[in-house]
Structure 1
Amino acid sequence: MSTPEERIEELGLEVPDVVAPLASYVPTARTGNLVYTSGQLPIVDGKLPATGKVGAEVTEEQAAELARTAALNAIAALKAEVGELSRVRRIVKVVGFVASAPDFHGQPQVINGASDLLGEVFGDAGRHARSAVGVAVLPKDAPVEIELIAEVE
């Protein structure tokens, strides 16, 4: 059976560097066997690939891909905290925020981008509880933000 890092590689992805915090916080906080990530934006090489509201400037499909990228950034933060992703026993909870146009109601489908990636990387251990929340605005005018809680060894 392959490791989560190998599955990431098989998907044609790589674990990025941890995105530097935008304000006064740390990327992760650990208590006991739980690791909480701070909210992760879909930043790639220091930039957001898209900005704006989902259902207006950003399509649902684009937003789902951005949620996938934000989840990969959360995985990077998690890996930096625990060393190897094989130490993750389970992704317990995902919270996804979607900057939404007033008439957009597809938040669950957008956050599926993050949930699907976590399943691909962690298998059954990637199945999680989840919230998908529509919000007026996110930092840097990002369309999505993802945070997660993981149980680790």
Structure 2
Amino acid sequence: MSVVEDNLAALGLSVPEVAAPAGSYVPALRNGNLIYTSGQIPTVAGELQAVGKVGAEVSAEEAAACAQTCVLNAIAAVKSVVGDLDKVTQVVKVLGFVASDPSFDGQPGVINGASDLLGKAFGDKGAHARSAVGVAVLPKNVPVEVEIVVAVED
């Protein structure tokens, strides 16, 4: 097991199986020393963690937990490409989408659920650039979708 997986285990978490694509794409793709993940939604063992708009049917706290699940699924996608998560040298970028009620403007706080877990899992290598974007709707009516880009060693 990797240091990253040990860090997750200390939090009571583990890297899940990579989710099967729901369309014509791959979960993650390596180009040079970068791995790009496809957008990951909050599924746990194939079941949606939550549905609805943040600020209406889903609270900001629930959405932050969903963002954590999304990034855990993204970590699984990275592992499916690189094999050993300790080969990650830097989390480079996080892009988080939040299906938001028109009055909700707390997207950065929601995506902190993903960012905070990356910091706990990868330590200093988890610091990253980030965008948190409010959108009208996401696939399957989920409240959050997250994708990441990581740099890896050869």
Corresponding residue for residue 59 of structure 1: 59
- SS of 2:75's equivalent in the other structure is helix
Corresponding residue for residue 32 of structure 2: 32
Q: TM-score, normalised by structure 1?
A: 0.98
Given the alignment of the two structures, is residue 150 of structure 1 paired with residue 117 of structure 2, yes or no? no
What does the per-residue CA deviation read over 1:35-58, in whole Å, with 9 as the maximum and x for residues that have no partner? 000000011111112100000000
Tell me how many residue pairs correspond in the alignment: 152
Question: What is the CA RMSD across the aligned residues, in angstroms?
Answer: 0.7
In structure 2, what residue type is equivalent to 1:57?
A: E
Alignment of 1:1-153 (within 5 A): 3-153=3-153
Structure 1 Cα separation of the partners of residues 74 and 49 of structure 2: 17
Structure 2: give runs of 5+ residues left out of the alignment: none
- SS of 1:98's equivalent in the other structure is strand
Structure 1 Cα separation of the partners of residues 145 and 62 of structure 2: 14
Structure 1 Cα separation of the partners of residues 49 and 66 of structure 2: 8
Please list every run of at least 4 consecutive aligned residues from structure 1 whose deviation after the TM superposition is greater than 3 angstroms: none
Structure 1: give runs of 5+ residues left out of the alignment: none
What does the per-residue CA deviation read over 1:54-86, in whole Å, with 9 as the maximum and x for residues that have no partner? 000000000000000000000000011101110
Q: TM-score, normalised by structure 2?
A: 0.97
Identity of aligned residues (%): 64
In structure 1, what residue type is equivalent to 2:151?
A: E
